[in-house]
Structure 1
Amino acid sequence: MAFSDRELLARIIKCEAGGEGEIGMKAVATSIMNRVRVPSGEYHRIGQGDIRKIIYQQGQYDCMRSYLGGVANPQTIWANPPEQIHYDIADWALAGNRLYNIGYSLWYFNPYTACPYAFPQNGTGSFQVSILRHCFYNPTALYYKT
């Protein structure tokens, strides 16, 4: 049985940011929905406004990978069912709400150190803000050419 969009988003919120509190989870949900709503570039072309295509895009979210570095990944959306807070945040994000300090960030990650200025490596994102352990990155002009 396929997950609904709501269930899928709630699961990825829990898996990607479950330990980051409500603000951290809303930040990640905002970033995911930014990819769904971006008007051009790679995520627009691939996702076409479909959250499922964004979440299932290969290589984007560790929680969608059964294996990481050749080792079974214990932290996947399938192994970690969401709780009410994750559904509430998914509903919040799907209704069009967003954290404005995230800007139009399309990427986030936990560098386990200070946030680098650019991410990903190809220079398509520039640092926007740090929320708890995650760094968020807005698209640069180069992204819109992807």
Structure 2
Amino acid sequence: MDNRELLARLIKCEAGGEGDNGMRGVATVVMNRVRVPSGEYHRIGQGDLRKVIYQEGQFDCVRSVLGGVANPQTIWANPPEQIHYDIADWALAGNKLFTIGASLWYFNPYGPCPYSFPYNGTGSFQVAIAKHCFYNPTALYFET
């Protein structure tokens, strides 16, 4: 699977029900991780989309098991549709959803967005789109 298809599959799996902006937000976060100049994602991902997506513990859709149970919703089980390829192409071309800013994280808290995420203080709330909350890195992130 090439990078375009890998990103399209991740977009569908992570945000397929979040509308165009939700999917663009997830794609922006992934590409922000690829392009971040320092910190954990730079050190581990080294600017490589595959390393970013397959970094252990980052995306539920890349885990075959969640909570000790087989994960039915993975990037392998859900082939992308044209909209997912279009958004992957958009992100791979260097485009970003402006409201996301430099966000490196997103998640669905199933309630109001907390001020910081991850809970170690490396991210601060940027914006909510559909059911996902997006978080920009704090100064602490760049020490990771």
Large movers: runs of 4+ above 6 Å: none
Match of 2:103 in 1: 105
Deviations 1:66-107 (CA, angstroms, capped at 9, x unpaired):
000001100000000000000000000000000111010000
SS of 1:91 mapped into structure 2: helix
Q: Which runs of 5+ in 2 are unaligned?
A: none
Aligned to 2:50: 52
Q: CA deviation at 1:122?
A: 0.7
Aligned to 1:88, the other structure's residue is in SS state helix
The answer to whether structure 1 residue 26 and structure 2 residue 24 are counterparts is: yes
Report SS of the residue matched to 1:126: strand
Corresponding residue SS for 1:135: strand
Displacement after TM superposition at 1:121 (Å): 1.3
Output the CA distance in 2 between the equivalents of 1:90 and 1:108. Answer: 17
Match of 2:140 in 1: 142
Structure-2 residue corresponding to 1:61: 59
2:7 to 9, 21, 29: 9
Local SS of the residue matching 1:123:
coil
The residue number in structure 1 matching 2:86 is 88
RMSD of aligned alpha carbons: 0.4
- Alpha-carbon displacement from aligned partner over 1:28-62 (angstroms, at most 9, x marks no partner): 00011000000000000011110000000000000
| Residues in 2 aligned to 1:133 and 1:21: alpha-carbon distance in whole angstroms | 10
**Whole-angstrom distance in 2 between the partners of 1:126 and 1:20:** 21
Aligned positions, number:
144
Which ranges of structure 1 fall in alignment gaps of 5 or more residues? none
Partner in structure 1 of residue 116 of structure 2: 118
Alpha-carbon distance between aligned partners in 1 of 2:22 and 2:99, rounded to the nearest angstrom: 12
Which residues in structure 2 correspond to 1:65-80 (within 5 Å)?
65-80=63-78
What SS class does the counterpart of residue 4 from structure 2 fall into? helix
CA distance in 2, matches of 1:24, 1:101: 11
Amino-acid identity (%): 80
Of 39, 42, 46, 1:41 maps to 39
